[in-house]
Amino acid sequence: MAASNPSKPLPLPPGSLGLPVIGESLQFFQDSDFVSKRQERHGAIFKTHILGRPTVMIYGAEANQTILGNESKNFENSWPASTKALLGPLSLALQTGELHRNRRKLLAQAFKPRTLATYVEIMGDIAQQYTQKWQQAETLTWYPELRSFTLDVACKLFIGQDNGCQTPLGQHFETWCAGLFSLPISLPWTKFGKAKRCRDLLLQELGQTIQARQSMANPGNDTLGLLLQARDEQGQGLSQDELKDQILLMLFAGHETLTSAITSFCLLTAQHPEITARLRQEQQQWKSKEALTVDDLKQMTYLEQVLTEVMRLIPPVAGVFRTVLQTCEMDGYQIPQGWSVQCSIGSTHQDQALYSNPKQFDPERFSPEHLAQQSTEQQRYGYVPFGGGIRECLGKEFARLEMKIFAAHLLQNYEWQLLPNQALDLVVIPSPRPRDGLKVTFKALSE
């Protein structure tokens, strides 16, 4: 595969651009198999028109390396119009070039190893509060509860707010999230229109929090405190407007996709008791400890394999969008300047050229022995749940940490089983989740 100017006009990829204006957006939102159906018909590359733009969808390690590895050369970071409007113009997700590199360095302070180590106890405490509540309930619909859990963790660690899901900020946040990947029709009753209103309310809430923190002699050691003190290479700090957009992005990244990944872990372990039994066996050596440490978490090698496989089988992000900066060629097709390209993460993770029996849940494929047989390129661009290249998810180690702490706490203390007669097929937008919300029985683990 190459990304270069063709010497002569080439055909566009196969596929349909759908209806005028809306293209195939409705099918994209309503059909969880939208991508796979078109890949069966057209192959690894096809064209469509979604979220307001003509788009080429493609998958595979080579495609990922070409697109994600050529940021600002042939391709530029891109988001659907609804996402851009709701994230805000100062968000790291929308910044490019030198500004993006500069801001990424500043925001990275919240995810350095020594900072992450300070998060462990708080994550564990909030996990304990929630699991005790679930034990008392005995049966529950787990997905909305997990959303509340991850939002509480994000609010506490990023802005120092307790019980974030129960605050006005938490309520506005859920409506805002629901509109991030929607048709950008700004009417009061649409998902996008409601989300725009909630963005304004969220910015008001965050502005008040920032102002209150700025008036303190010590701004604190949470993420907001670190960012208030952060300075770039020219000695400049973040404006209040940018702080609000960046914090909003971090709350989203530490909540939406992380909830999906944790839910998938709970679902897949419930469906594979033999894997759960092995996970529990590994956890025995830490069961008597009052609090886990980062070193303890590093030793949970089988849990690491399982979580890695969870995000391969059900990646929390379906794909990564880029804008084509200049007309180029891929697999013998013309990709016009100004179009969008989406690297399909889900399809890459189902590529039989990369993974044998890709639909099977098999943590052994990430054992040290198996990984030793893979090329660096396959590991780097064939497994991309956090994206890749210079825009790889800044908070991926935060996500891994929270997933591990939560999973270890569950495995050591509780058991859960799926309730019958529920739909477990996945709704995939904005991130995968079981259609009926994952209904389970939940109780303390029998000794």
Tell me which residue of 302, 317, 315 sits closest to 407, measured CA to CA: 302
Query: CB atoms < 10 A from the CB of 198, how many?
Result: 21
Cα–Cα distance measured from residue 366 to residue 10, given in angstroms and rounded to the nearest whole number: 40
In the sheet where 414-418 sits, what is the strand order? 139-141, 439-444, 414-418
Strand 45-50 and strand 340-344: pairing? unpaired
Q: Which residue has the tokens 């070193």?
A: 295
Cα–Cα distance measured from residue 93 to residue 112, given in angstroms and rounded to the nearest whole number: 19
- 8 A C-beta contact, residue 77 and residue 94: yes
Tell me which residue of 266, 305, 276 sits closest to 432, measured CA to CA: 266
Helix (H, G, I), strand (E, B) or coil at 425: coil
Residue 446 CB burial class (10 angstroms; 0-12, 13-18, ≥19): exposed
Give me the helix-helix angle, 240-253 and 191-214, nearest 10°: 120
Beta bridge partners of 416: 442
Question: Annotation-wise, does 198 bind a ligand?
Answer: no
* DSSP structure string for 60-72: SHHHHHHHHTTBT
What is the per-residue burial (b if ≥16 Cβ within 10 Å, else e) of 145-159? bbbbbbbbbbbbbbb
- 8 A C-beta contact, residue 286 and residue 292: yes
Q: Which residue has the tokens 């469906």?
A: 271
Q: Which residues are annotated as a binding site?
A: 393
Q: Which residues are annotated as a binding site for heme?
A: 393
